[in-house]
Each structure stands twice: as C-alpha cells, then as structure tokens.
Copies of this chain bind each other. A is one copy, B any other.
Amino acid sequence: MSLITLTTDFGSGSPYTAVLKGVILTINPRATLVDITHDIPAQDIREGAVVLDDVANRFPEGTVHLAVVDPGVGTERAIVCARIGKRLFVAPDNGLLSRLAAKTPPEWIFRLENPEYRLDPVSTTFHGRDIMAPAAAYLSLGVDPSRFGPPHEALSTLEWPHPVVRHDRVEGVVMRIDSFGNLITNISGDMLAGRPTDGRACIVCNIYETWGVYNAYGEHPFGTLIALVGSNGCLELAIVGESAAERLGIGVGTPVVVAWE
C-alpha cells in the first residue's frame, strides 16, 4: 500500500489541492490519496498541528502524511520529512509537526533540498506543489529519505498551553472547535482519574458552568450544556443538538476549569 493523506489550509474545493494530487499521481500512479482536511483556517499553523496530532495515528503504519500550511512559503524556513512514531510526515518546519513531535520525538528528520526530487522549476509561492508533494510521492514509493537532503537537527516548536493539575482543580483551555461546535479542551481524561465526575465536579468555561462529566450527548435534553470525555480522550463541552461554540460565543484559547469543592 502507498497511502498518502493531505492536510492543508487551501479550503474545501480548492483546485490547488487537486494540483497536489496530480503531482503525486504523476510520480506514483498507485498512491491512495485521502483528504484529512483542507479547512484549516488560512495560515493557522496551530490548528493544523492540533488536527494532525488528533488524526495522524488513526491511519495505518507507514502512511505518508503531507501537511501544507505554509505562510512562510518562499522565505527561509526549512521544508522537511520526518518519521514520527510509525508514520512519515512531509511539511514545512514551522511548528506544524510540533504537537506530534512533543509526544513522540522524531526518529529522523531530513531537509527537502535535492533538486532531483523536486519539480523543475520550483516556484517561490507554491512549495506544496513543487517540493512537498513530490517528496510525499517518492516516500510512498520507498525512496530513502536521506536522499532528499541533509539531516535536520530539530523541528521548530510552538508554545503549547499546558493544563495545570492542582489538588482541587484542573485548568486547561479550549484547543479546537470541532465540526459540531463542540469545545475540545487540552484536559485529558487521565487528569480527572480518581476524582469525582458526578455533580461534585464543576466545569467552568468563560461565564458558563455545568456539573458532572458524562458519557454521551444523547443522555441529556436538547439544548443542555454538558461536559464529557470525548472521542480523542480529552474533556469537551457540548450543547446537546446544537453548536456550543456558536451558542456561547466561545473560541479557541478560552480557559476551562474543572473544580471540586
């Protein structure tokens, strides 16, 4: 199998995405292509990093994940391929891989500098097409990544908020709004282990409060604000049958506290 996924900020329906696929299939006609998302907000490296971290390991071992959120295209930032855990990644080195790499240090990182594995000529504005898509295709064909260029010492990192676990509270933030408008936090279910999750747990986000950490959306009446440990293992806030983000006007970065009396 040669499975390549694509994660970009090009927008759903952008022909630029098709161009990446055309380049890949020209090099490896047998590649299987899967879109992770193209709806990363334009140039939002952080959101791209969070999505990759959530999704990448759900794909088979050996999958090549191509990620193009690249506001610095044409400037000095490096473009790299890396092995992180059992999967391969191609991306600009701008922090896009930093959330994954913070959990699992890359086994190797190489810079994509060898013109033999790039399109010719290379534009100054679309390195996704000219450098990254070809590298993903060659990786899927089994090309040794050391042929792409010299080793790259370390990936750039972004500052990520760390939840704070205290004796009477856990403090985190909203990391991502999902497509249902649920507020996904960086407070993992593990951080709540051994603490009451019934009505003694008070979850506060902005001016809103709810009590108890539940198991399913459908247990509560339509319109109720609830907290539950979601499918990625982290605490989330949801309004049953509606978008919590829209109803409450809450965005990424808003503090969330779970407190016990």
User: Which residues does A use to contact B, with CB under 8 Å?
Assistant: 1, 3, 5, 10-16, 18-19, 21-23, 25-26, 29-30, 32-39, 42-43, 51, 54-55, 58-60, 63, 71-75, 123-126, 129-130, 178-180, 215-219, 228, 230-231, 241, 243
Contact = CB atoms under 8 A, between A and B. Distances in A.
Taken together, the copies of this chain in the complex come to: 3
Contact of A218 (B35, B63, B74, B129): B74
Chain A binding surface SS class: loop
A59 B22 contact: yes
B125 A241 contact: no
A210 to B, nearest CB: 16
A150 B82 CA distance: 46
10 contacts: A1-B29, A3-B25, A13-B39, A13-B179, A25-B32, A25-B59, A73-B216, A74-B218, A75-B218, A125-B231
A125 to B, nearest CB: 5
A184 to B, nearest CB: 11
B37 A18 contact: yes
A74 B217 contact: yes
Contact of A231 (B3, B21, B126, B243): B126
A231 B129 contact: yes
Nearest to A51: B15
A3 B23 CA distance: 13
A19 B59 CA distance: 8
Contacts of A35: 18
A79 to B, nearest CB: 13
Nearest to A6: B18
Contacts of A30: 1
A77 to B, nearest CB: 8
B5 A34 contact: no
Nearest to A133: B58
A15 B29 contact: no
Contact of A123 (B3, B34, B180, B231): B231
The 6 lowest CB-CB distance pairs between A and B, nearest first, are A74-B216, A13-B39, A126-B231, A22-B58, A11-B179, A14-B179
